[in-house]
Chains A and B, each alone.
Chain A
Amino acid sequence: MTKLVETQSISSRWFPKVQSRRQFVSLGAPVLGLSLAKLLELDAHASTGTPSSSKKSIIVFWTDGGLSQQDTYDTKPNAPSEYRGAYRSISTKVAGITLGERLIEQALVMDKLSIVRSVHHENGIHAPSAHWMLTGYFGPTLARNAPQKPSFGSVISRSLGTRRPPMPAYVSIPKAEAFGYQGAVYLGKAYNPFEVGADPNAADFKVPNLSLPQGLTARHIDARRNLLKSFDVFRGDIDRSGVLEGLDTFKSQALEMVSGDQMRDAFDLSRERDSTRDMYGRHRYGQSALLARRLIQAGARCVNINTGNWDHHNDIFKGLEDHLPPLDRAIAALVSDLDVLGMLEETIVYCVGEFGRTPRINGHSGRDHWADCFSVMLTGGGIRGGRTVGASEKWGGAVQERLVTPLDLLATIYHVLGISLDTHYEDASGRPVSIVGNGQVIRELL
C-alpha cells in the first residue's frame, strides 16, 4: 500500500493522482482473479503518467449519427436497388476490394487502408450506441442505470500520457461529441479531451488564449506560477467531485502551454503551405485533419475529429453528397501525408461511428440505424493496409463471417499503441475494470 502512494506521489504534475483518493478496501483480496500485487503493479504503471516510451498515437474520425456502410466501405453492387442505393461500386488500388464511388480518394490509397466489415453490437439508439463504440461497453440507457465507462481516448490519455508536454494528450476538434461519451468519467476529469472550440477552416481560426496578451512575458508567467504555487494551498480533499483536481491539472498545463511557442505554432495552420492545405481540402473535415496531424507532430496522443451529422433518415443521398466527398478527401490526404512524413507507422487513423445504416432504403429515401453489421476503417501504427476483415451477408444485414465487437476494435487499438491489455482502472466503487473486457486483438489486421 505504502509503495503505491509513493509511486503516485512522483507522478508528473500533468497527471493528477486520480486513484489516490479511492477506496483501497476492495484491494484487500484478489479481485477478478488478479492478485493484489499484480493490481498494484498495474496501477502504478498506469498512474505514473510520465510520458510513455510508446511513440504511437491515433487520429479518429468520429462519424456522429452513423455512416452508411453500404454506400461507403461495404457496397453491395448486386443487391436490388432499394438495398444497393444510388452509388456505384468502384474498384480500388487493391484488386478485389471495392468502395462506394464517393470514396474515390480513399480508393486510390486503398493499399494503405484496412476495412472491418463485420462490426456488431446490440443497440440501435444513438446515445447507447455511441457509448458502446466509444468505450467498448454497453452502458446506460433510459431504462438501464449502468454506470458510464471512460472513452478510449481517455483510456489512451491516462495510460500513455502526452507524447510531449505541454501538448494535451487528448484533443477534440472542434468539440467533444454531444453525449459526453468521449469523456473520462472515473479516470478523472483531467483526461477529458481538450476542446479546440473552433472550426479550423474558418478564416479567423484561432484557439482562444494561447498567445500571451500584450505586455506579458514568459518571465511574468514564471513569477505568477511560483506565486500561485505558494497561495494555492486549498486542500484537494474538500472536493470529491473531481472539479478542483481537474482545475489544478489544467491550470498547470495552461501555464506551461502559454509560456512557450510550441502550442501556438502547433495550432497555427497558416504555417502550412497553401498546397498542403489545399490537398487536405478547404473544408472543416480537411483542415481538421491537417490540424490533427500538426497536433500529433507537437505531441498529442489521441485526436478526435468529430464529423457529421450522418443521421440521414431522409434523403440520404442528398446528405451524403454534402458530407462524403470532404470526409473522403480528409482521410485520404491525411493517410498519404502521414505516409510521406514517415508518420504512418506510428499513427493510427480510425474512422468509426455509433453504428451503420439499414441495408434497405426506407420510405423517405433514407436509411435508419443499423448496429447488426457495419464497417469501420483503420490503418497505421502497425495496422496493415490493403485488406478487409470479416464480411456481411448477401445484402448487408448481418454478419456473415468474423464477427467483430466494439471491444475487439479497442483491444486492437490499445495493443497497437502499446497499452497492456491487462490494464485495469478502478471505477467509482473502487472495483478494477478491465479496459478491454473480453475483447480480442484482431490479428488479421497486424
Chain B
Amino acid sequence: MANARRIKFAVLGLLVCSLSAIGNISANDASPVYFAADVVPLLTKLGCNSGGCHGKASGQNGFALSLLGFEPELDYESLVNEARGRRISATAPERSLLLLKATGELPHGGGKRIDETSDDYRLLRDWIALGARPPGKNDPIVQRIELQPAHGVLRVKATQQIAVTAYLSDGTSRDITHRAVYQSNAPEIAAVDDRGLVRAVGQQGLVAVMARFGEKIATFQAAIPFSTGEDLAGESQTLAEISTRLDNLESNATISKFDKSLIRQWRQLAVAPSAEVDDATFLRRATLDICGTLPTPEETRQYVADTSHDKRRVLVDRLLERPEYASYFALKWADILQNRGAGYSTSKQRPGTTLFANWIRDSLAFNKPYDQFVAEILTATGSQNENPPTIWYRTVRTSTEYVESVSQAFLGVRVQCANCHHHPAERWSQTDYYGLAAVFSRVGRKGGFADAEVPTNEIIYLKSHGQVRHPRTGRAVPPRPLGGEELPSDSHLDPRLGLVRWMTRPDNPFFAKTMVNRMWAHFLGRGIIHPIDDSRSTNPPSNPELLDMLSQEFITSGYDIKHLIRAITGSLAYRLSSLPSAWNSEDTQSFSRFYPRRLSAEVLLDGISQALDVPTEFSSGPGKFPVGTRAIDLPDENVAAHFLDVFGRPARMSACECERVDAPSLAQALELVNSPEIQRKLTNESSFATTIAKSIQATDESAVRIYAEELFLKILARFPSANEVKTVEQFLASEPNRVEASRSLVWSLLATNEFLFNH
C-alpha cells in the first residue's frame, strides 16, 4: 500500500538523534530556593494551580492559587498565611500540609502528585526548611528560558529530548527540563511528555512544542519529513528525484525570493511541488480569488489563446482594476469589521451598513494604503451619517469588544483569556488586556435613535476623561498597546492615535504580518500562521522567513494591498496544481500544492446566477434590491437567503474570519440538488439552460461539440474533454426534449465538485 511508507532518513543526513543535553548544565545545588522563580513554576507543573483545581477562581476546598501561578504574591499569601498557617510548618517541614497533601499522605482530592524521594519534593521541602521566604523585590527572576535544540528534523517514531535552561536575572542559569510544562501544537504529528521528550507519533509535517516555565515560553520547532519510498533503495532514488526537481526549480531565472523560501522548506520536508496548472484553471482560480467571480466563456477563450509570456501578471493587474475586486474584498472586510445588520430594526440599520460597506469598497477600489485604512477606522470621530468608518463603533461598543476586535482583526492575536486571568499559553496579562481597553476609554457617544435596541445613528467623539480599572487591583490602568509603551495621558491627545502610530510603525511585530498572513490565507487556502488570527509563540508560523519577507515587502510598498496581492499571486505556490504529485500528497502545511476549497456562500450563489444568466432576487426588508445585485454586493448579512445561510455565511458576531465555515452538510446538498431557487434559475425563460437548448439545431458531431464547449466554458470555465463531449452527445440522444436535456446537463455540471471548489 502506498501509504505504508516506512523508511529511514539517514541518507538525508538530516536526522537529529536523541542527543540529550541534560547533564551539560547542572543546577547549582547550593543556590537558595526562590518562591517566584522556583516554587510557583513547580506548582504549575504539578497541576496545583490549574483551572480544574486550586487555580479556579473559587479555589478547591478552601485553598485558592492564582491560575497557572501568574500572581506569586497572592499564592504566597494563600500558602503561608491563610488557613492559620497550617499549610506550611517551618519547624517540621515534612509535616507541612502542602507536602502531606501533595504526597497523598493525607487525603487529597487531587491524589498523589509527588513522591517523597523526588527532586520536586526536595525543592518544596528545602524552600520551607529555609524559612519559606516570600517573593522578594530583589529576588532574581527568570528572564528567559532556552530550549536545546530549538529546531529539529525527526523521522516518524523518532524521539527528541528537549533540554530547558532558565536564565535568571542574577546571572545564574539552571536546568529546568523536568520542571517545565510542555505542550504540542499538533499532537497528531508530535507528542511531548511531561519531561520534555518529543515523539513523532505518526503524521508528518511541521510541529511546534512549547515549553513554559512560569510566564516564560519557548518553542521547539520540528519538521517530520514525508516518507518517500517503499524501501531504502526506492527511497534514496525518490529523494534524489525530489532534490533534482527542487534544484531545477531553484535555478529557474523567474524564481523569486519568496519562491526560494518555499523551496527551502520543501527540501526540509522532502516534498516536491505539484506541476503548474493549465491556463484555464489559473484564470478561474485568479478570477475567483480576486473578484469572487467566475470567468466568462469569452474570457476563458481569450486567455487560453493568448500567447504572451507575462499574461498571468497582466491578468492579475486587470482583475485588480475590476469593480468586483473591491466588492469581493469589501465583503471580506465587512465580515471582519462586523458591519452587522441583524439584531435591530433593519430599516434604521440599513442606511448605516450600506454607508460603511460603500466606504470599505471605495477604499479598496482606490487602493487606500492599509495603514491609512485601519487608522481611519480606529480613530474615527463624528456622525455615523457623515463619516462612515465611525460605523465600526456601532457594533463594537464595549471594552471587551474593542480589545478583542482590534487584537484579532489587526494584530492577529487572541487575548480573550486575559480578560479574566493571565493568558495560559501566552505572555498577555490582564494589564495588557485592560491597557488596550484603556485606549478606547475616552470614546464618547451622543445621540442615536432611541427606538432601536442599539443606537444606530450616534456621534462618536473624544471625551476628556475616561479610564479602565484593573478588575483585581481596582487601580486605573494607563492606555498601552499590546506589548508597547504606555501612551501619554493628556486630555488633548487621543490615545487611539497613539495606538495607531504604534501599530503602523515599521517595526510593529503584528500589524503587517497579520495582514500579509490574512491575504496569504485568502489566496493559498491556509495561513502561514494557522489559524490566521491566532499568532502565539506557541503557534508559530510554518515558514517564518516567508512571512517576514512578505511583511517587509508590504511595509516597503507603503502598505499597498494590490502590491501584496501581486506578490502572492505571482508566487510559485499560487501556480501549482491542486493535484498531488507522487511526492506531496500528504502535505497540508507547506503549500507544495494548491489546497482546494469550496467556494464561499456568496461566491457560489453568484457563480450559479452567472452560469445560468438568472440573477438572485434579494429582498431588502421593505422592497427588493435592484435586479442584478450580487451576493458579494449586499451591504450586510441580514438579507434573507437560505442558500447563503446553509453554505456558511457568517453572522458577523466577531472579528474572526473563522465564523465563515465550509463544513459540508446534508442541508447544502439538498439546496443544490433540490431547491426551488436552483430550479427557478434552470427553468427561467432567460436561463442559460433554456437559451443553449435553443441554440442547438442539429445533433451532428460538430454541433454537439460546439454545444458541449459552450456548456463547459460557461459553467466550469474550461473546454470539455473528448469523453465529456461523448457523454453530452449520448445524453442528448437519450433525452429528446432539448430543453429538459439542457437543464439536466447544466444542473449536473453545477453539482460537480469541480464547480463547487476553487482548485
Contacts and interface: CB of A to CB of B under 8 A. Distances in A.
Interface of A: 1-2, 5, 21-26, 28, 122-125, 141-147, 168, 189-190, 192, 194-195, 197, 208-216, 220-221, 223-224, 227-228, 230-232, 234-235, 237-244, 246-251, 253-255, 257-258, 427-431
A248 B751 CA distance: 10
B543 interface: no
Given A243-B664, A247-B668, A209 B724 contact: no
B579 A235 contact: yes
A238 B665 contact: no
A430 B425 CA distance: 27
The 8 A-B residue pairs with the shortest CB-CB distance in the complex, in nearest-first order: A429-B188, A246-B664, A143-B424, A254-B669, A250-B669, A227-B748, A213-B679, A209-B670
B744 A253 contact: no
25 contacts: A24-B3, A25-B4, A25-B227, A124-B56, A141-B51, A194-B666, A209-B670, A213-B680, A220-B740, A221-B673, A223-B735, A223-B744, A227-B731, A228-B748, A231-B752, A238-B579, A241-B662, A244-B664, A248-B753, A250-B664, A251-B669, A251-B673, A255-B673, A258-B670, A429-B201
Interface in B1-44: 1, 3-6
B693 interface: no
Interface string B564-588: 0000000000000011100001101
Nearest to B580: A237
Contact of A24 (B1, B598, B662): B1
Contact of B203 (A144, A146, A247, A428): A428
B727 A247 contact: no
Contact of A237 (B156, B187, B585, B663): B585
A224 B666 contact: no
Nearest to A238: B578
Given A212-B674, A254-B669, 19 more contacts: A24-B4, A25-B5, A28-B4, A147-B187, A192-B663, A210-B674, A211-B674, A220-B744, A223-B731, A223-B744, A224-B747, A237-B580, A238-B579, A241-B595, A243-B664, A247-B753, A254-B670, A257-B666, A429-B187
A392 B593 CA distance: 57
Contacts of B68: 143
A214 B674 CA distance: 10
B671 interface: yes
A142 B417 CA distance: 8
Contacts of A194: 665-667
Contacts of A197: 646, 667
A349 to B, nearest CB: 24
A250 B669 CA distance: 6
Given A25-B202, A215-B679, A246 B670 contact: no
Which size class do B's interface residues fall under?
35 or more
Contact of B751 (A142, A144, A232, A429): A232
B674 A209 contact: yes
Nearest to A372: B109
A123 B759 CA distance: 43
A1 B202 contact: no
B669 A208 contact: no
Contacts of A124: 52, 56
Contacts of B183: 144-145
A197 B672 CA distance: 16
B626 interface: no
Contacts of A146: 187
B664 A189 contact: yes
B675 A145 contact: no
Contacts of A247: 598, 664, 668-669, 753, 756
Contacts of B752: 228, 231-232, 234
Given A145-B187, A192-B663, A194-B665, A240 B588 contact: yes
A231 B724 contact: yes
A9 to B, nearest CB: 13
A208 B671 contact: yes
B465 interface: no
Interface in B306-329: none
Contact of A244 (B588, B675, B753): B753
Contacts of A248: 753
A234 B754 contact: yes
Given A208-B642, A209-B670, A5 B751 contact: no
Contacts of B672: 251, 254
B1 A209 contact: no
Give the interface centre of B183, B187, B646 by most chain A CB atoms within 10 Å: B187
A246 B663 contact: yes
Given A208-B642, A429-B187, A429-B201, A215 B675 contact: no
B670 A145 contact: no
Given A23-B3, A189-B663, A227 B668 contact: no
Given A147-B188, A231-B752, A238-B759, A431 B201 contact: yes
A226 to B, nearest CB: 8
B653 to A, nearest CB: 12
B622 interface: no
B668 A208 contact: no
Contacts of A211: 674
A235 B757 CA distance: 12
Contacts of A24: 1, 3-4
Contacts of A5: 1
Contacts of B756: 247
Contacts of B749: 231
A221 B743 CA distance: 11
Contacts of A231: 724, 727, 748-749, 752, 754
A427 B188 CA distance: 8
Nearest to A368: B58
Contact of A224 (B202, B664, B744): B744
B675 A26 contact: no
A25 B663 contact: no
B596 A238 contact: yes
Contacts of A232: 748, 751-754
Contacts of A23: 3, 202-203, 586
B668 A250 contact: yes
Contact of A234 (B5, B670, B759): B759
B436 interface: no
Contacts of A144: 183
B387 interface: no
A400 to B, nearest CB: 16
B109 to A, nearest CB: 10
A21 B743 CA distance: 35
Nearest to A258: B674
A1 B203 contact: no
B683 interface: yes
Contact of A209 (B3, B56, B671, B759): B671
A239 B757 contact: yes
Contacts of B156: 25
A232 B183 CA distance: 42
B747 A243 contact: no
Nearest to B201: A429
B265 interface: no
Give the interface centre of A210, A235, A244 by most chain B CB atoms within 10 Å: A244
B288 interface: no
B343 interface: no
B189 interface: yes
A409 B203 CA distance: 32
Given A189-B664, A223-B744, A243 B597 contact: yes
Contacts of B56: 124
B185 interface: yes
A238 B668 CA distance: 21
A270 to B, nearest CB: 20
B184 interface: yes
A26 B674 contact: no
Contacts of A210: 670, 674
A98 to B, nearest CB: 30
Contacts of A209: 667, 670-671, 673-676
B111 to A, nearest CB: 11
